[in-house]
Amino acid sequence: MTVRISRSFPINEHVTSFIDGAPVTSKAKGHDIEVVNPTTEQVISRLREADAAEVDAAVTAARRAFDSGRWPRMDITERKDILYSIRDHLRKNAEELAYLECLNTGLPLHSVAVHVQRMARNFEFFAEVASNVHGETYTQTAGYLTYVTREPKGVAGCIAPWNAPLALASMRVATCIPWGNTCVLKPSEYTPLSMRRMVEIFHEAGLPPGVVNLVNGRGAVTGDALVNHPGIDMVGFTGGTSTGRAIAATAGRNLKPVALELGGKSANIIFDTADVERALDGALAGIFGNNGQQCLAGSRILVQRGIADALIERFVARAKKIRLGDPLLPTTEIGPLAFRQHMERVLSFVDIAKADGATLLTGGKRSAVHDKGWFIEPTAVMAPTNDARVCQEEIFGPFATFLTFDTLDEAIRIANDSKFGLVNYVWSEDLNTVMRCSRDIRAGTVWVNTPMMRELRAPFGGYKESGIGRDGPQASLEFFTELKATIIPIDPVKMHRYGAS
């Protein structure tokens, strides 16, 4: 499926919540948040923030849909048909969703086109997985049959970030509802436009009211009200590590399980046994893909000393030629960063790097050729050691940090010397090198000789401060369902008859 944008689409003047199958229109007043186009810096919409009362209405709708609605009780073929219909409707509206996403996030169309396909595929994939759920039986104990069934767990709070809303929020919902759960989705307050349309499309596709409810607003207001609500049974969160820590603490106090997909500072290790052309392409894609705003960015590029100078020189030459521009154009490689404060934070790492003794190799400032928009030049620095803050902290922008190493052991030690453990990339044609990295790197995914390739059948998630739990068929099944053992005697059971004699 190719996604092209041939026209503009209408934008809601006010983005409101969507609860129990309908937009919230009743609230005349409330806290409004400006929705800004990062390319033009213009306000393009206003988000009407959901307060605690609106979050309560959303959780109540989700609760009703779960406790007495059709969705959890529906025959799986019908539920699967609805999820497939969601896939088809998302595809039918791909151009509009991509338009809203590019406009609101600044992500270039070539990235968003992939996200739109992923979004639709997420529903298809997890519908199929849920339709194959089966239980266990135990007959070893004489006279008894015990069987174990899986049941949906209840109402989820699903919280998503701004860096790839369609791909990531759809993942939160698609791993949750196919088992029969219902949810309240809270996307980022910075990027609500595609989210509102996505949830409308779910309903146009036949999703019963109350199964997916949308609330918008800041984390400290709307998000906090959702995580603290006694009516939710679990939280699925994708976002930053410090937010994840706060959410896990709240959920822990309320004894609610949490699945956390958090940040990263992943090593992209290039050995002298690599196919250097491909490794170079992969290193550029790993840090500049998605405007550099991706949890799985290969942001620490470790290069073996013998090939380092030549490779870094070519990386810098290519970085200087990357096409910055309007994210709606198919030729744009990097768009503006998502919002002003984020751009300022990314740029602040240039001084942080220098203070730690790093050398600026290229970029490091706002784009001189764009008089509007949060564009920054693709940036690269050479770090003195892995202790530098640019090697330890997630920058989350088009900002590469280089380090050199001499041996395989040293590369693995540097890669693991991080509080994060989301993914790692390895470039080498030597089998032993690859196998050692695969075994010894402490991260949830190791990509060998490839840029990011998301295999939905495999678990995705992080070690250490990159998260708790995984997305994937087995892991999502475990998180989003409860196990119930039913124990039945086949013959009458001999019981002690209390008080009978």
Q: Active-site residue numbers?
A: 261, 295
Q: Which residue is nearest to ligand NAD (CB)?
A: 219
Nearest to 414 by CA among 394, 444, 384: 384
Among 247, 251, 279, 408, binds ligand NAD (CB under 6 A): 247
Indicate whether 184 belongs to the interface with ligand NAD (CB under 6 A).
Answer: no
Q: Report strand pairing: 463-464 vs 420-421.
A: antiparallel
Indicate whether 295 belongs to the interface with ligand NAD (CB under 6 A).
Answer: yes
To the nearest whole angstrom, how small is the minimum distance from the Cβ of residue 473 to ligand NAD? 16
**Residues near ligand NAD (CB under 6 A), total:** 32
Nearest to 45 by CA among 195, 171, 203, 186: 195
E strand or H helix at 92, and its extent? Answer: helix 76-92
Indicate whether 104 belongs to the interface with ligand NAD (CB under 6 A).
Answer: no
Q: Restricting to residues 188-207, which ones interact with ligand NAD according to CB under 6 A?
A: 188-189
φ, ψ of residue 37 to 5 degrees: the values are -80, 115
- What DSSP string runs through 288-342? HGGGG--TT---EEEEEHHHHHHHHHHHHHHHHT--B--TTSTT-SB---SSHHH
Nearest to 310 by CA among 282, 358, 284, 276: 276
Q: Which is nearer to ligand NAD, 219 or 373 (CB)?
A: 219
Indicate whether 264 belongs to the interface with ligand NAD (CB under 6 A).
Answer: yes
User: What per-residue string of b and e applies to 130-166 under the rule 16 or more CB within 10 Å gives b?
Assistant: beebeeeeeeeeeeeeeeeebebbbbbbbbbbbbbbb
Q: Which is nearer to ligand NAD, 241 or 433 (CB)?
A: 241
Q: Which is nearer to ligand NAD, 187 or 373 (CB)?
A: 187
To the nearest whole angstrom, how small is the minimum distance from the Cβ of residue 446 to ligand NAD? 15
Indicate whether 394 belongs to the interface with ligand NAD (CB under 6 A).
Answer: yes
The angle, 0 to 180 degrees and rounded to 10, between the axes of the packed helices 165-174 and 109-131 is 10
Q: Report strand pairing: 14-15 vs 43-48.
A: parallel
Which of the ranges 12-20, 138-146, 186-194, 319-327 carries the binding residues for ligand NAD, by CB under 6 A?
186-194
Radius of gyration of the chain (CA): 24
Nearest to 86 by CA among 212, 2, 235, 187: 212
Indicate whether 162 belongs to the interface with ligand NAD (CB under 6 A).
Answer: yes
Among 17, 39, 170, 238, binds ligand NAD (CB under 6 A): 238
Q: Which is nearer to ligand NAD, 79 or 121 (CB)?
A: 121
Considering Cα of 15, then 17, then 20, then 26, what sign does the dihedral take?
negative
To the nearest whole angstrom, how small is the minimum distance from the Cβ of residue 397 to ligand NAD? 11
Among 261, 356, 377, 465, binds ligand NAD (CB under 6 A): 261
Among 43, 53, 145, 220, binds ligand NAD (CB under 6 A): 220
Among 49, 54, 96, 224, binds ligand NAD (CB under 6 A): 224
In the chain, the N- to C-terminal Cα span, in Å, equals: 77
Nearest to 467 by CA among 436, 422, 406, 432: 422
Indicate whether 103 belongs to the interface with ligand NAD (CB under 6 A).
Answer: no
Q: Report strand pairing: 18-19 vs 22-23.
A: antiparallel
Q: Which is nearer to ligand NAD, 33 or 437 (CB)?
A: 33
To the nearest whole angstrom, how small is the minimum distance from the Cβ of residue 297 to ligand NAD? 8
User: Residue ranges of the alpha helices (H) in 230-290?
Assistant: 241-253, 276-288
Q: Restricting to residues 447-476, which ones interact with ligand NAD according to CB under 6 A?
A: 462, 467
User: Residue ranges of the alpha helices (H) in 138-178?
Assistant: 165-174
x/- mask, ligand NAD, residues 131-160, rule CB under 6 A, reads ----------------------------xx
Indicate whether 163 belongs to the interface with ligand NAD (CB under 6 A).
Answer: yes
Indicate whether 69 belongs to the interface with ligand NAD (CB under 6 A).
Answer: no
Among 166, 168, 195, 395, binds ligand NAD (CB under 6 A): 168
Q: Restricting to residues 403-432, which ones interact with ligand NAD according to CB under 6 A?
A: 422
To the nearest whole angstrom, how small is the minimum distance from the Cβ of residue 493 to ligand NAD? 49
Nearest to 113 by CA among 175, 38, 164: 164
Residue ranges in contact with ligand NAD by CB under 6 A: 159-163, 168, 186-189, 218-220, 223-224, 227, 238-240, 243, 246-247, 261-264, 295, 394, 396, 422, 462, 467
